[in-house]
Structure 1
């Protein structure tokens, strides 16, 4: 069963884990104006902060900021389903996307069709919650989205992230002990 419930509105400066029975799917989008393309970053973690899977995906067109965020949310849901995640918190730093996902009615905005695609994917989860956080709590997904600028196609890491982001992960894990 899918339930659109806002999990939290964190103002903390670090990533926070999901409840022990859920995974957390962080997503972010980035726009590279000079390259005329966009990027998507996704990281899935368990309640201890351990990486389940992560990815960077270039989008070979320049999308608007809301559109790339909505596209990133759809890709995050698809990616989570592909790696077997069925109970999760979808978390991002785009308030308009998270609010759109929580709306029962169709959105009459340019990104409305993208949000509808996200809602269709959400129906494949047994349990799904939504969470909006500030970018400081979404740094790893943000870095993965920025990483997409320099790659030709989708890159996936199972139980890992690119080695040059290990310091970001460690900073998140230090935040768990605070």
Structure 2
């Protein structure tokens, strides 16, 4: 609810019940999902029927009974654990590298960049074989796009269109937009406003069972990211066969070195 008030997210409804606004009290207490947790056998308030206000009063009363030292200790422990998790996540991300596809497969990395002020987006697509060699690279622009998620969906659709035109059958599509990957792999229909694009992509995947869409961190999607940014420097769609624009080869060789080391 607070994020929606600050225009950070558009939807302020609870993602669990999808009925009520996701306030703090609703998420912790009155949502059906939260109530199921409080109703567990080990819960001290298992059969306590009360409203959100009573729950807030209970919380305030509990906090008053804790000493300041206890609260400070709890806060420090939470902070320390948070820093540990963050550091572990950073190390894990830094160790991520591009992985070559299996034999007789190709890997297609895609990415999108967005210039909200000008209302245009850039698309980068690179197709590589099991040795990490570039088969095709593409830069493209689209206008009247304001949403990052839609930009990523458009980039994935462009990558699929390219592979269809080249009649490539065994494909792994890899991008760093986790929400897009989850949306197109979700068997349920998407009722979001961008749902039609998701539906189109799902239909393509349904007809091409050897095409897969997977997620990768940005650190292993550098070539596509470079191409997406480079697309703002060209005025029309550009396609390169077995090469790409100046500067791309640096990232390609970096990925190939990792592939060689693994082998």
State the TM-score, normalized to the length of structure 2. Answer: 0.61
May I ask how many residue pairs the two structures share in their alignment?
169
Higher mean C-alpha displacement, 84-93 vs 122-131 = 122-131
Matching residue of 1:49 = 132
**Mapped partners of 2:105, 2:207: distance in 1:** 15
| Cα shift readout 1:106-162 (whole Å, capped 9, x = no counterpart) | 112232211111112224435012210100100101111111112111000011111
Q: Which has the higher contact order (CA 8 A, sep 6+)?
A: 1
2:112 is the counterpart of 1:29: yes
Partners of 2:205 and 2:212 within 8 A in 1: no
**Mapped partners of 1:119, 1:150: distance in 2:** 31
State the TM-score, normalized to the length of structure 1. Answer: 0.88
Partners of 1:77 and 1:122 within 8 A in 2: no
Matching residue of 2:157 = 74
**Mapped partners of 2:210, 2:149: distance in 1:** 25
Matching residue of 2:224 = 141
Partners of 2:116 and 2:146 within 8 A in 1: no
Structure 1 segments unaligned to the other structure (5+ residues): 1-9
Matching residue of 1:105 = 188
| Cα shift readout 1:54-98 (whole Å, capped 9, x = no counterpart) | 100011223311000011111110111112211111110000111
Higher mean C-alpha displacement, 112-121 vs 63-72 = 112-121
User: Comparing both structures, which one devotes a greater share of its residues to helix?
Assistant: 2
Flag the structure with larger Rg: 2
Matching residue of 2:44 = none
- Following TM superposition, where does structure 1 have runs of at least 4 consecutive aligned residues deviating by more than 4 angstroms? none
Matching residue of 1:6 = none
Q: Which of the residues 230, 236, 252 maps onto 1:153?
A: 236
User: Comparing both structures, which one devotes a greater share of its residues to strand?
Assistant: 1
